Amino acid sequence: MVLLEALGSIGSLQDGKFIHLRAASLGFDEQDTSLCNALLNLYTKCGSMQDAIALFHRMPTPNQISWTCTIAGYAQQGHSTEALELYQKMDLEGTKPNQVTLLGVLTACTHAGLVEDGIYYYNSMVSDHNIQPKEEHYGSLIDMLAKAGWLQEAEALIETLPFHPFAVAWTSLLGASCNHKDVDRAERVAAKAIDREPGNAGPYISLSNMYATLNRWDDVARVKKLIASLKGGGQ
């Protein structure tokens, strides 16, 4: 199982399939949930959802890890409908989700632009499952809101986080603000992103690109000077 985990981490699908076939020839029993879960982890990390779901459906008693691994795999591959349908089946069968399960569900909602569903699942973490959101869950929800154009809601969520906002939250909102050409918000958010990571040129580049699409060439020139000063160490 350690070998399967290692192969999954490097995306070695063919080697993993060989081990699966070899195990089968030696009498591998698909009632061995731990081994099945290791194979599921391999297949999902390698993006082979066809192999993963086939194995999942052959398992007589998938456990929380089995469900979570398959849901997360679907979500990461952008198969949002399949991920959410599988989560609903998991709930109906009475298997409790964990933090990773819910992160997969939120990721699926983000890919599909299902903001209201995402908010529902986010709220259900605490109300239905007594799972406290972590930074990754907040980040996924912020990304979901921002990508869907719910910029005010995303900014309000960042401002009310129960911890100091992480840099990725601001940069995610900044990218969406620039895409929607919300100049005031983009400038405000960029300042906060820069405050979190003063040496990161990313926020400046996002602003410069937005100004260019708006033909604000004086602003483009001003920001490029700031970028140059960063590269020159302020010299």
Q: Three-state SS string across 165-220, please?
A: CCHHHHHHHHHHHHHCCCHHHHHHHHHHHHHHCCCCCHHHHHHHHHHHHCCCHHHH
Return the top range by mean pLDDT from 12-21, 52-61, 175-184.
175-184
User: What average pLDDT does this structure show over 149-178?
Assistant: 94
How far CA 186 is from CA of 8, 178, 194, 203, 215, in Å, comes to 39, 6, 12, 9, 16
Residue 117 CA, chain-centre distance (Å), reads 16
| Statement: residue 18 has pLDDT above 60 | no
Q: So what's the pLDDT on residue 10?
A: 43
Sorting pLDDT into bands at 50, 70 and 90, what band is 30? low
Burial 156-177 (b: 16+ CB within 10 A, else e): ebbeeeeeebbbbbbbbbbbbb
Q: Which of 133, 77, 127 is nearest to 101 (CA)?
A: 133
State whether residue 12 is helix, strand or coil.
coil
Predicted structure pTM score:
0.83
Confidence tier at 48 by pLDDT (50, 70, 90): confident
Say whether pLDDT at 20 is over 70: no
Q: Supply the mean pLDDT for the chain.
A: 88
Question: Would you state the structure tokens that stand for residue 206, as one six-digit string?
Answer: 């996002």
Residues near 86 by Cβ (< 8 Å), separated by ≥ 6? 67, 70, 71, 74
The pLDDT, as a whole number, for residue 27 is: 57
Distance set, CA 89 to CA 83, 84, 111, 120, 202 (Å): 10, 9, 20, 17, 41
Share of the chain above pLDDT 90, in %: 70
Q: In 10 A of CB 218, how many CB atoms?
A: 8
Residue of higher predicted confidence among 146 and 165: 146
Predicted confidence at residue 159, as pLDDT, reads 94
103, two tokens = 């992160």
What's residue 7's pLDDT? 42
Contact present, 191 and 206 (Cβ < 8 Å): no
Domains of the chain with bracketed CATH = 63-133 (no CATH), 158-235 (1.25.40.10)
Q: Indicate if the pLDDT at residue 174 is higher than 60.
A: yes
pLDDT at 175: 96
134-141 mean pLDDT: 95
